[in-house]
Amino acid sequence: MYSIRDFFSRKRAQKALRDEDEKALFTEKYGAFRRLLEANNQVLLLMGDMQEKGTGAYLFDRAYVRSSYDALSKGVEGLIQSLNDLCDGRYGDLEERFREMDARIRPSLTDKVAIPETEDVLRLREVKKEMVAAVGGKMAHLGELHNVLDLPVPPGFVITTRAYERFARHNHITSFLKEMAPRFQSREFQEVVSLSETVQDRVRNGEVPPELEKAIGSGYRGLCEDLGQEGLRMAVRSSGVQEDVLASFAGQYKTVLHVSSEELVSAYKEVLASQFTPRALFYYRDRGFAVEDMAMAVGVLVMVEARASGVIYSRDPEQPGDDAVLISAVWGLGPYAVEGKVPATQFRVSGGDIQEMSGGDTARQDRMLAGDHICGLREVPVPEEWRARPCLTAEELHRLAAYARVAESRFEGPQDMEWAVDRNDRIYLLQSRPLRLSTFKGKASTRPRVVEGHKILLNQGTVACSGVASGTVVVVHGEEELAGFPEGGILVVRHTHPEYASVMSKAAALISDIGTALGHLATVAREYNRPAILNTQHATTILKTGMQVTVDAVYANIYEGIVDEVLKDTWATSPPPTSPQLRQLRQVLKEIAPLNLTDPRSPDFRPKNCKTFHDITRFAHEISMRALLDLSKESHFAERSARQLVSGVPLQWWVVDLEDGLVKGVKGRKVTPEEIASIPMQALWKGMTAAPWKGPPPINTRGFMSVMLSASMDAGIEPAVQKTFADKNYILVARNFCNVSTRLGFHFSTIEAYVGDQENQNYVSFVYTGGGADDGRKGRRADLISRILENFDFRVDKRGDTLFARIEGYKRAFLEQRLQVLGHLIVHTRQMDMVMYNDTMVDWYYKDLMKGIEKHILPGPSEPPPEHGN
């Protein structure tokens, strides 16, 4: 009785005899497989970038979190679709798991803020940073500076988001924005400009509800009473809910200065209208914000008649690790400072030192912006007595620097601040928002790359997760050695196999000889924030179990012993306090990054056990390679699809071109090895032909084997003809792919490889089984091949006389050489099972084969395949 699989395999063979073509099927499946590899690579890239941001060493906004998640979920969805295309829809349950995860994560990404029930107007002295939803980001920060940190801020009040909602409903703006929402996504500039003008006119011409107008007037009069002054001039400033919190919105909204009491309501509407300028609308779209979800509070502050004003950076963007504050200053009001209309003086304050930076010549500023009770603002000459001296005194610079450090600590990260000094020399802080640095790494950047006086054991590799650690080396050669892995050990491995993830929570750091920063184990290292250095080449040789080492995964150095100077860099393991967007990102990462499916041999390696996006990615990648390999085993191609390979190798091969696998322009029914453009096939063929086969080993059953060999070498065999001892030997090729199936008598092998420039997509799989001898001899031959392949970094699973081997995630040149080794092996181990009558023969042939590999394969890198046309 044949199994169902055997039945269908025979049916497919019969189809080939009838000249029914399977090339189209395999080409379609290969296309799905290639799309899956591309999606897999993109998903791991996105996940790695999100994990890097999640360490706390980088600044970003919530728009980054949302856009990254959108791209990631789209990639995972595409991955699942490609898997189902490859496997005829067998993994619909994986789609269900994805939808469950996505539904769980999406709510945490929304930027729509529930507007709290508050008064229309709140005094600034009532405001704290937790009140963002009511007063917007800018005013929440100012309230925190004054009411919690006791820093100088101009007196004022806030027209709340609740008031904005009231105004928007009263003038039907909310419903209008929802109706127009699709049109705001247009990339036609003139259409966006037209929409912008329409909405802005609607806001400017809108009626402020009487109760709101009354509340604004009451807020102003109360402020005048508190200060004992009449006719105060005000600065009316935007304070969006997302502004200075979820994104910078720098320069997007309007500020109206020197506003009288009679102009407050119109200035309020002018600031609200600035939400809908063309540049703001494009900013929303690029940052992923929905126009209809915008909510604007407005701050009304007493106008500071500035002698000087400017900007503070609490960190130097060029050297964020230095303890330095940068201060930019101009004479007069602040708009000239932020708009760059006049030359500003740059100061660098570090400790007690003040350095005036080059390029800041105050003598060149001959005009400044000043307030005017008649025309509001006007440009006036800088007084002559001011021009000869700096905008700020040393005392003022030190005070501003101290304020910046206090704000940085309170708001949990570097700050970008605005300030002004009035004509009575009083300092006021006008704004504090996150400073957008590309990276912020504390003291790490100030430490020397190499700490003198300490022995460096290794100084090369790829940093997959930054940080520092020390501990005892534990070299692990296989997952069977993971039991008893000690807490705080330094995990040292040759390859970054996902199975090692089971001890990553215990490990203080990860070091590997080979591996990619996009691999699954690197992802797990970042999940646990464990310093990781990959691709050191020699870690398992140089580092010995029991050694004490210090791992510097900032500069990719590994020191002997404990190096305190390195371990002082605690920024990676103890990042600065978290911002709201960092907390959001880390929450999302908990749902997408952990890897639970580490062992593909486990019965738990099933779709229903996928708990994260990383699990789905791992499952789909593993199953896809199995699926393509299984498909090739059962495929039988019609004569018209196959070209006979003409070569000096005494075997009959037929080549099926899936996609750009042959040199452009090749015609006819035959093809030479030089006309194959497949990168992995060229490497495999080079190994197969590096040394001539010596023929079958001398045995007593020579006659029987001669029959088998002559049958396999019969030149009259054509693709549509079958004989007792000879099956077709197929080579399926594409530019980056090959699948080679050989059936020689009782010996069967399949090699499949994908090799290109993206190392995370690259792999080689090998299945070898059968033989003409007894089970003991076939098993020893499998042992022999296993030993050699393991010596060349393959992961091998041997079951009886059947051998499964795979290597994946490495660079092109590395895998090309491994393919050459594999090609050499499959040629030179043919019929060797007949002489494997004891372990001594295994040892002898192992040494003999290794000599051949060292002589013919290892001396130089493989040659590139011929270029194919576009």
pLDDT digits (tens, 9 = 90+) for 832-856: 766 677 888 888 888 988 988 888 8
Alpha-carbon distance of 163 to 141, in angstroms, equals 20
Q: Say yes or no to pLDDT of 404 above 70.
A: yes
Alpha-carbon distance of 434 to 58, in angstroms, equals 12
**Residue 322: DSSP 8-state:** S
* Residue among 827, 636, 817 at smallest CA distance from 721: 636
Alpha-carbon distance of 670 to 661, in angstroms, equals 14
**Amino acid 337: pLDDT:** 63
**Amino acid 395: pLDDT:** 92
For domain 121-302, the CATH class is alpha beta
Confidence of residue 2 (pLDDT cuts 50, 70, 90): very low
Alpha-carbon distance of 503 to 472, in angstroms, equals 14
pLDDT, tens digit, 9 for 90 and up, residues 168-208: 889 988 788 777 767 766 667 677 788 888 888 989 999 99
- Least confident range from 57-66, 326-335, 780-789: namely 57-66
Q: Say yes or no to pLDDT of 7 above 90.
A: no
**Amino acid 484: pLDDT:** 86
Q: Say yes or no to pLDDT of 48 above 90.
A: no
One-letter amino acid at 373 equals H
pLDDT, tens digit, 9 for 90 and up, residues 795-813: 888 777 678 888 888 889 9
Instruction: Pick 444-575's CATH classification: 3.50.30.10, 2.130.10.10, 3.20.20.140, 3.40.1280.10.
Output: 3.50.30.10
Q: What's the chain's average pLDDT?
A: 80
306-434: CATH architecture: 2-Layer Sandwich (3.30)
- Least confident range from 20-24, 205-209, 536-540, 569-573: namely 569-573
Q: Which string of DSSP letters, residue by residue, matches 767-793? A: EEEE-SS-HHHHHHHHHHHHHHHHHTT
Identify which has the larger pLDDT, 26 or 300.
300
CA triple 48-553-598, angle to 5 deg = 45
* Residue among 168, 136, 140 at smallest CA distance from 238: 136
Q: Say yes or no to pLDDT of 292 above 60.
A: no
pLDDT, tens digit, 9 for 90 and up, residues 660-713: 899 988 888 889 999 999 999 999 999 988 887 666 555 443 333 333 343 344
**Amino acid 339: pLDDT:** 57
- Least confident range from 22-36, 639-653, 690-704: namely 690-704
Confidence of residue 401 (pLDDT cuts 50, 70, 90): very high
**Amino acid 437: pLDDT:** 58
**Those residues with Cβ within 8 angstroms of residue 577's Cβ, 6 or more apart along the chain or in another chain:** 412, 413
Alpha-carbon distance of 491 to 486, in angstroms, equals 10
Confidence of residue 723 (pLDDT cuts 50, 70, 90): very low
Question: How many C-beta neighbours within 10 Å does residue 675 have?
Answer: 20
**Those residues with Cβ within 8 angstroms of residue 739's Cβ, 6 or more apart along the chain or in another chain:** 628, 629, 632, 730, 731, 732, 750, 751, 752
**Residue 856: DSSP 8-state:** H
**Amino acid 841: pLDDT:** 82
Pairing of strands 456-458, 509-512: unpaired
Percent of the chain with pLDDT over 70: 79
Burial class (CB within 10 angstroms; exposed 0-12, middle 13-18, buried 19+) of 699: middle
Confidence of residue 343 (pLDDT cuts 50, 70, 90): confident
Written in H, E and C, the secondary structure of 97-160 is HHHHHHHHHHHHHCCCCCCCCCCCEEEHHHCCHHHHHHHHHHHHHHHHHHHCCCCCCCCEEEEC
Identify which has the larger pLDDT, 516 or 437.
516
Give the mean model confidence (pLDDT) for residues 157-174.
90
Q: Say yes or no to pLDDT of 651 above 70.
A: no
Q: Which residues pair with 458 in a beta bridge?
A: 558
